[in-house]
Amino acid sequence: MSLISISEIFGPTIQGEGALIGTQTIFVRTGGCDYRCSWCDTGYAVLPKYEDDWQKMDAETVFAEIEKLSKQQAAWITLSGGNPAMQDLGPLIELGQAKGYQFSMETQGSIAKPWFALLDQLTLSPKPPSTGMSFKKRGLDRCLDACDSLENVSLKFVVADNKDLLWAKKIADQYSHLTCFIQPCNTSAKLEHNYNESDKSNEIPIDQQQQMLWLIDEVQQIDWNNARVLPQLHTWLWGDKTGV
């Protein structure tokens, strides 16, 4: 059985964004990513210089930690990263589901895996122009093809400016059968931020309310009536603090 690269496992906490916002969950954050987004807020789970902090764990060991945190009470498990699609998470999902756990995952839609069909919920979050990354529709389509059903699949766009917003609507219009969430980005985050303990404060950026008000207004201006506008609730509550 292959090992999973783990950055951190924590919870219970709440899901801060997307389809399950407010839902109690345990996070399994994997290490490694195929993207280098300019405003990434989890550089410690992305950049190779942090690899020594990641642990190689088999599915049984990961699930044992999940059961410890959940007190062996079946719960939602959120698979995050980095890009969790880089890992072999199928055995972990099967192990947990056999005991009543449900699994949600967020990925940018660049890598598709057969085990996507096992997921109870999938959020595909294509990255907008402000990240400096290129969108590849073929990758997103392959992710959708890997799913057993699209009933619990949604799109989520994080936008930093009006250009991002217009780009997101253009992409979402091509997948109008999927529920779409949109939220302002955490502009306090930078990929090359030095993630020392002294930097992991829970200070809330003062512009988050203004960002939400801006986004609500702009979404209405372009008549994007079926988009669900959400905050990044976790950054609103805890800033860039890890493990919450």
Mean pLDDT estimate for the chain? 89
Residue pLDDT, tens place only, 86-142: 999 999 999 999 999 999 999 999 999 999 999 999 999 999 999 999 999 999 999
Structure tokens at 42: 């989890």
Q: What is the pTM of this model?
A: 0.87
Assigned domain for 244 exists: no
Confidence of residue 148 (pLDDT cuts 50, 70, 90): very high
Determine the Cα–Cα distance for residues 180 and 144; give it in Å rounded to an integer: 14
Residue that wins the pLDDT comparison between 197 and 180: 180
Q: What total number of domains does the chain contain?
A: 1
Q: Label each residue of 52-92 as H, E or C.
A: HHCEEECHHHHHHHHHHHHCCCCCEEEEECCCHHHCCCHHH
Which CATH number characterizes residue 128's domain?
3.20.20.70
Residue 33 domain flag: yes
Domain that holds residue 61: 4-238
Q: Please report, rounded to a whole number, the percentage of residues in the chain having pLDDT higher than 90.
A: 75
